[in-house]
């Protein structure tokens, strides 16, 4: 029974923590790309200097710590499910390797993990440092500020595009299964196209209200 099985309970706890912090992370990522970026263009100078920084400061706190916890719990779950057998010890499990080599299930998870790692890096080492530097007021010129904002924007936009195929990779092990080059490319393309469509839609949403 799960309630009497400590390992199963710990596994589920980490899975729950991974999912809920991932939702916090991706929710704020979509908020930035679908709501905040289009809205910023409509702000006047006063709002850009007062309301916008306060909004971003709070949002980036939740985004980066959601990213951190989701990023750290991911490998823990991978080890618990793919590299450890209760009562036996560490080593590749049947979910990781079978007679054909690395399983499709494991391949999908690792695909999602690689994309998630890139996204985590962008949050912590590009977007957040750029925002802190912008708020410091110690930027030499307007051109430097423009380049800094552009770099942060590109990192956030990259994360949005990667999130589509990343989520496909995380869900596929339990709900899809098969993987080959063609399927991988289709998943990548569909994930990116869905986010691209949402970004295009975001520029017009709310304009008629």
**pLDDT (tens digit per residue) in 76-91:** 999 999 999 988 999 9
Three-state secondary structure readout of 80-101: HHHCEECCCEECCCCCCEECCE
The answer to whether residues 148 and 134 touch, using CB atoms and an 8 Å cutoff, is yes
What is the C-alpha to C-alpha distance for residues 168 and 112, in angstroms, rounded to an integer? 7
pTM above 0.85?
yes
The verdict on residue 156 lying in a domain is yes
Dist CA 78 CA 143 (whole Å): 44
Top-confidence residue, 87 or 160: 160
pLDDT band with cut points at 50, 70 and 90 for residue 123: very high
- Is 207 within a domain? no
Residue 44 in domain: yes
106 domain residue, yes or no: yes
Q: Identify whether 46 is part of a domain.
A: yes
Give the domain range for residue 25: 2-202
Please give the Cα distance from 151 to 157 (Å, whole number): 10
The pLDDT assigned to 134 comes to 85
Per-residue confidence band for 113, with pLDDT thresholds at 50, 70 and 90: very high
Q: Would residue 121 count as lying in a domain?
A: yes
Judge whether 209 lies within some domain.
no
As for how many domains the chain has, the answer is: 1
The reply to whether 152 falls in a domain is yes
Confidence category of residue 28, pLDDT binned at 50, 70, 90: very high
Contact 60, 32 (CB under 8 A): no
Percent of the chain clearing pLDDT 90 (strictly above)? 63
Query: What is the SS3 assignment for 208?
Result: coil
Confidence of residue 1 (pLDDT cuts 50, 70, 90): low
**Residue of 170, 162, 171 whose CA lies nearest to 189:** 162
Contact assessment for residue 92 and residue 146, using Cβ atoms and an 8 Å cutoff: no
pLDDT confidence of residue 178: 80
Q: Which residues, 6 or more positions from 68, have their beta carbon under 8 angstroms from its beta carbon?
A: 120, 124
């Amino acid at each position: 029974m799960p309630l009497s099985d400590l390992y199963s309970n710990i596994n589920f706890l980490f899975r729950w923590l991974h999912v809920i912090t991932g939702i916090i992370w991706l929710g704020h990522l979509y908020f930035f790309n679908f709501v905040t970026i289009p809205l910023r263009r409509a702000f006047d100078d006063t709002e850009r200097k007062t309301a916008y920084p306060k909004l971003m400061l709070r949002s980036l706190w939740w985004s980066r710590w959601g990213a951190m916890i989701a990023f750290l719990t991911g490998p823990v779950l991978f080890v618990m499910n793919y590299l450890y057998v209760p009562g036996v010890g560490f080593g590749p499990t049947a979910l990781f390797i079978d007679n054909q080599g690395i399983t499709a299930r494991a391949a999908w998870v690792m695909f999602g993990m690689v994309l998630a790692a890139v996204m985590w890096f962008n949050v912590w080492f590009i977007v957040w440092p750029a925002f802190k530097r912008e708020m410091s007021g110690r930027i030499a010129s307007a051109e430097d500020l423009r380049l800094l904002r552009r770099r942060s924007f590109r990192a956030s936009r990259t994360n949005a595009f990667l999130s589509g195929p990343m989520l496909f990779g995380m869900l596929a092990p339990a709900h899809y299964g098969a993987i080959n080059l063609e399927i991988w490319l289709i998943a990548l393309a569909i994930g990116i196209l869905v986010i691209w469509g949402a970004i295009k839609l975001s520029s017009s949403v709310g304009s008629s209200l």
